[in-house]
Amino acid sequence: MGTNSLHTPPPPQESAISRAPIERQSRRVRLNRARRYLWNHVVTGLAILSTIVVIAPLVAILVYLIYKGTSSLNLAFFTKIPAPVGEPGGGMSNAIVGSGIVLALASLLGIPVGIAAGVYLGEFGRGKLLAGAVRFTADVLNGVPSIVMGIAAYALIVVEQKHFSAFSGGVALAIMMVPTITRTTEEMLATVPHAIREAAYGLGVPKWRTVLSVTLKTASPGIITGCMLAFARVAGETAPLLFTAFGNQFWSFKLNEPIAALPLQIYIYALSPYDEWHRLAWAGSLVLIVLIMASVTLVRIYANRGVLKGAS
């Protein structure tokens, strides 16, 4: 208690802001306030408007896709290979299978490396400078255009083998999967409560065993989700396959030959002058989108439930 030495002068007669009660507020502040409320409404309106403008293309694309795609989808689409140019009928079964093969290869190569890198970041590298650098590089690598990966795979494999191949396509996509899976794995491992690890250490379980049998197992739903996301992302990629997998009008199951892939085929058909091929492109897009959206939705559902699970 006690006064301090600062003398607080009484407020000057003409105060900067009128101290009159609200009913007699100075006209200027009142007008100003009216302007502020107006501006508030304008901005709110603009925000709502932008949201609508953003949602609209998506709805338009989806609706159009479904409309065009479903009318083109038939059993033949899934069972037949493309008919000769100009002839009706035919399907994209070889492209679907081809995509499956290339993606399987990419997953085989990319998922283990990605998860292992994520394990390093999450379990061994916490706080270390190296881990930070790896993390940063992974994020930056995610932003590199996918066509560059295609060039790299081309230069590495296609040039040496002197032909296009499913293998080179798989490698290109694997390179893309690694950074994504690394980051999501790290994130998922971070959600595992430290108490679980400590319990294992306390029982004398060596670190490598703990990571494999305990930590990874606990985080596995989330990690699988991350892999699915990466899978969905590369499933739609066309650019890296343009000069690696290259495409194929016929069935191909050999890794050393060019192979068809769904997005690649859609691209070729979209730019062709034949209506029949346009029809197939729409159908293919619908199939692609349904698969991708299914993954994204599953991920979302899991994420909403998983957060609660991890916290318990």
Partner 1 sequence: MSRSSGKGADRVFSAVMLACALSIFGIVLFILYILILRSKLSISQFGFKFFTRSAWDPVSGDFGAFPFIYGTLATSFLALLMAVPLALGVAVFLTELCPEKLRAPISFVTELLAAIPSVVYGLWAVFVLVPIMRDQLGPFLAKYFGWTGLFGGFNFGVGLLTASIILAIMILPIISSITRDIMLAVPISQREGVLALGATRWEMIRMGVLRNARIGIVGAIILGLGRALGETMAVTMVIGNHPEIPKSLFAPGYTLASVIANEFSEATGDLYLSSLIEIGLALFLVTIVVNAIARALVWAVTRGAPARAH
Partner 2 sequence: MGVGIDVENLNAWYGSTHTLQDISLNIPANHATALIGPSGCGKSTFVRCLNRMHETNPIARATGVVKMGDVDIYEDANPVEIRRRVGMVFQRPNPFPTMSIYDNVASGLKLNGFRNRAVLDETVERSLKAAALWDEVKDDLKKKSGASLSGGQQQRMCIARALAVDPEVLLMDEPASALDPVSTSKIEDLIFELKRQYTIVIVTHNMQQAARVAENTGFFLNGKMVEFDSTHKIFTNPKDKRTEDYITGRFG
Binding site for partner 2 (CB under 8 A): 1-4, 6, 8-11, 15-17, 19, 21-23, 25, 28-29, 32-33, 35-37
- Looking at the Cβ atoms of 21 and 204, the one nearer to partner 2 is 21
Kindly report the CA angle at 107 between 106 and 112, in degrees rounded to 5?
120
Measured CA to CA, the distance from residue 281 to residue 272 in angstroms comes to 10
Phi, psi of 231 (to 5 degrees): -60, -50
Max Cα distance, the chain (Å):
99
Measured CA to CA, the distance from residue 41 to residue 138 in angstroms comes to 42
CB of 310 to partner 2, least distance (A): 24
CB of 4 to partner 1, least distance (A): 26
- Looking at the Cβ atoms of 35 and 126, the one nearer to partner 2 is 35
Cβ-based neighbours of 61, under 8 Å, separated by 6 or more: none
Window of 18-26, 46-54, 76-84, 86-94 that interacts with partner 1 by CB under 8 A: 46-54
Candidates 236, 255, 298, 310; binder of partner 1 (CB under 8 A) is: 236
177 interface partner picked from partner 1, partner 2, none, CB below 5 to 8 A per type:
none
By the 8 A CB rule, do 234 and 262 touch? Answer: no
195 interface partner picked from partner 2, partner 1, none, CB below 5 to 8 A per type:
none
Candidates 31, 61, 85, 307; binder of partner 1 (CB under 8 A) is: 61
Candidates 216, 242, 259, 280; binder of partner 1 (CB under 8 A) is: 242
Interaction residues for partner 1, span 205-224 (CB under 8 A)? 206-209, 211
Q: What per-residue string of b and e applies to 25-57 under the rule 16 or more CB within 10 Å gives b?
A: eeeeeeeeeeeeeeeeeeeeeeeeeeeeeeeee
Interaction residues for partner 1, span 132-161 (CB under 8 A)? 132-149, 151-152, 154-156, 159
